Amino acid sequence: MAPSSATAVRSRAIPRRIIGLTVVVVMALSGGIWSWLRPATPWVDGKPVHQWVLLACDQNAAALEKVLAFPAQAAAELNLVLKSVEPLPSRFRGWVEPHVPLAWTHYLPTKIDMEIRRRVAVNLLATMRLHSSVAREGLVRSLRDPSPYVSGPAAMILMNWGVPTPEAVPHVLRLCSDTNEFLLMQVLPGLRRVGVPAADGVPHLIRHLTPASRQRMDVRLPALFGLKEYGAAAAPARDLLLTLASDPDPGIRLFVYQCLKGAELKDAATVDVLTKALEDPELSNRIQVLQALGGMGPSARTAVPKIVETMRNNVAEFWRLGRAALLLIAPEIPEANQVLLDQ
């Protein structure tokens, strides 16, 4: 007599359940064997550090505290987490997962799970403030991560350290050509700090300042910040900066004035633009313009009448700043030496 359809389905399901359980058991045992063979690591509250690191990367608050207590050992374990990019194939996971206990699915991370672990690992390296070669190796590896939410923060951490990292330069330059707004806002501000030479970094920053680069999240502010970091080496961006000096965004104008000041430009066109910028409605912007004109010295002599006019129209705010600029531009005029009684 032929077996019923329910019996046939049950007979096929039993071997699949056994196979699924066997696969997970082997994976768990292989992890235990590896834990036994690997170099000795400190144990905390009944678990080795590498297990606490994995729990911390799964956003376990108690594990985060344990990991921070052993930064040197944890850095090496975090590097292993950052190497984990490819999860089990989704088809294989979908076949195995229904046949294993829920608690065992920890050994079957999805692509999202692994990305979250890597993001937490990068942030942990930053929190521990480890400038060691091990931590740097992990962050440089993260620059190649397919997720911008891993590679972007890794680049920002390296730049915040302010230590040139030659091995990171080619990866950072590749990220500069990306179109992801979040990634660009993380990478562009600190190209010089990570060691990108001006000959390579400035052209990338200029490209992100053009009108065609305006995106959903404006990347011009981080690009201007990065350009300011290059100082005099940002001179090739002069024409674009002079155009942006009339931008409607006051934040853009502020960074433009700072870039012009740092670029040490002393040509007539720059003086004319900055002279007109003394009419900027923002107080902080006008202060930057005065300082930029003062840094030009005698080259900004044509701006003296406008500086004097600004000083007289805003005595309380600008007289002292105007005098400081005039002492560098034209120290012989009366306003450069006239000290008000209340100052």
pLDDT at 321: 85
Nearest residue to 206 via CA among 258, 163, 259: 259
Look at residue 257 and give its three-state secondary structure. Answer: helix
pLDDT at 54: 75
- State the Cα–Cα distance between residues 277 and 259, nearest whole angstrom: 14
- State the Cα–Cα distance between residues 213 and 209, nearest whole angstrom: 6
pTM (whole model) above 0.85: no
> Each residue's pLDDT tens digit in the chain (343 positions)?
445 554 444 445 456 666 666 655 655 555 444 444 445 556 666 677 777 777 777 777 777 777 777 777 777 777 777 776 555 555 555 555 555 444 444 455 666 677 887 888 888 877 766 557 777 888 898 899 888 999 999 999 888 888 888 999 999 999 999 989 899 999 999 899 999 999 999 999 999 988 655 555 578 999 999 999 999 999 999 999 999 999 999 999 999 999 999 888 889 999 999 999 999 999 889 999 999 999 999 999 999 999 988 888 876 678 888 888 888 998 888 877 776 544 4
Using an 8 Å Cβ cutoff, are 108 and 88 in contact?
yes
Distance of CA 115 to the CA centre of its chain: 17
Q: Specify the DSSP element, H or E, that contains 47.
A: strand 47-48
DSSP string, 309-332: HHHHHTHHHHHHHHHHHHHHH-TT
Domain boundaries, the chain: 43-86+109-131
* Per-residue three-class SS string for 58-103: CCCHHHHHHHHCCHHHHHHHHHHHHHCCCCCCHHHHHHHHHHCCHH
